[in-house]
Amino acid sequence: MKGFVVFLIVIVGLVVAGTIIRFFGLWFRALLSGARVGLMNLVGMTLRKVNPAVIVNSRIMAVKAGLAVNTDEMEAHFLAGGNVVRVVQALIAANKANIPLGFAEAAAIDLAGRDVLDAVRTCVNPRVIDCPDPSRGSPTVAAVAKDGIQLKAKARVTVRMNIERLVGGATEETVIARVGEGIVSAIGSSESHKEVLENPDVISKAVLAKGLDAGTAFEILSIDIADIDVGDNIGARLQIKQAEADKQIAQARAEQRRAMAVAVEQENKARIAEMQAKLVEAEAEVPMAIAEAFRKGQLGIMDYYRLRNIQADTRMRDSLAGEEKRENKG
């Protein structure tokens, strides 16, 4: 029994010695830096699957920068999947720049997927955003003035991060889209493209007046037109297309009228043929009528010969008239 107790004491001593050896460096470094962390706290961090080195180094940075950040907050953020080192660096940068930022707010920004340190740096050193982004499509924003001339503009937007709106605020893609929309609206409301070319700041003033940074994580400081070029004559092109369309419509209507005229002509020809058929039918009844007149005594032989002579004279005149027409045509 006595031997077992001795063995147990030895095991406990070895565990304590191993723990001291393992965490002594971190504990001693924190002690010398004035950012004291208890040895048992280091052991507890390991048991809670928290990296003690990350917590100790972050606390040392904070204390040396004059910030009071306790280890419980850093542990909680680490367990939540946050970047403790990045948050502490952001707090230090914000403190040096006199930007009000607490650990809870910085941790929330980090957990939201935003780079909190980059956000603080953008507050201090504003960022310039190209509009539109040349890496995502067209390098210019195209718009048409009221005179039909297309203008292609490129703008550079200077923005500063708004820490208070960083969580839940729209990203720079929204700023680019809104600025592009403002450029199109400003050019489209201009009476002439020459007005825009002479005073490009008209676009900047019109876009800034719209308050495009509302609901975003940025504050727009300035919008500068970096380049503006003349594009196509969209108005003339549309007029040409309209004229071509009108021409096709007119041709279609003319073709419709021609088809109707052809139909009327064919109908008239049919009527003429019908009338000729009736005439032939009527002429066929003449001999029968003459014979009937002979039988009834209404027509004498001399009357018949006079009728034949008249018919012969008529045929002769028709023949002569036909020869004269052919000679005139020849």
pLDDT, tens only, 306-320:
777 777 777 777 777
Pick the last residue of a domain from 71, 98, 123: 123
29 and 113 together in one domain? yes
For the whole prediction, is pTM greater than 0.75? no
Examine the domain organization and report whether 86 and 49 are in the same domain. Answer: yes
- Can you read off the two tokens belonging to residue 223? 């919008």
- Considering the domain architecture, whether residues 153 and 194 belong to the same structural domain is answered as yes
Position 104 in a domain: yes
Same domain, 159 and 213: yes
Q: State how beta strands 149-161 and 218-233 pair.
A: antiparallel
Q: What is the mean pLDDT of residues 96-117?
A: 85
In a domain, 259, yes or no: no
Task: State residue 306's pLDDT score.
Answer: 74
Among 76, 104, 123, the domain boundary falls at: 123
Q: Are 70 and 45 within one domain?
A: yes
What span, in angstroms and rounded, lies between the C-alpha atoms of 46 and 56?
A: 12
Q: Residue 326's pLDDT band (boundaries 50, 70, 90)?
A: low
Same domain, 93 and 134: no
In this structure, is residue 313 part of a structural domain?
A: no
pLDDT tens string 136-175:
777 888 888 888 888 888 888 888 888 877 777 777 888 8
> 1 pLDDT band (50/70/90 cuts)?
low
Relative to beta strand 218-233, strand 127-131 is: unpaired
List Cβ neighbours of 221 (8 Å cut-off, separation of 6 or more): 126, 158, 159, 160
Assess whether pLDDT exceeds 50 at residue 14: no
What average pLDDT does range 20-28 have in this prediction? Answer: 65
Instruction: Look at residue 65 in the predicted model and tell me its pLDDT.
Output: 82
Q: Give the number of domains in the chain.
A: 2
Question: Which pLDDT value is given to residue 6?
Answer: 54
User: Does 265 fall in a domain?
Assistant: no
Would you call 144 helix, strand, or coil by DSSP?
strand
Task: Let me know if residue 10 belongs to a domain.
Answer: no
Measured CA to CA, the distance from residue 69 to residue 62 in angstroms comes to 7
* Per-residue pLDDT, 47: 76
Mean pLDDT of the chain: 79
**Which of residues 85, 101, 123 is at a domain's end?**
123
The 3-state DSSP class for residue 203 equals helix
Report the run of H or E that residue 155 belongs to, with start and end.
Answer: strand 149-161
Query: What DSSP assignment string belongs to 74-135?
Result: HHHHHHTT--HHHHHHHHHHHHHTT----HHHHHHHHHTT--HHHHHHHHHS-EEEEES-GG
Question: Does residue 143 form part of some domain?
Answer: yes
Q: Are residues 113 and 135 in the same domain?
A: no
Residue 102 lies in a domain: yes
- The percentage of residues in the chain with a pLDDT greater than 70, rounded to a whole number, is 86
Domain that holds residue 157: 127-233
CATH, residue 169: 3.30.479.30
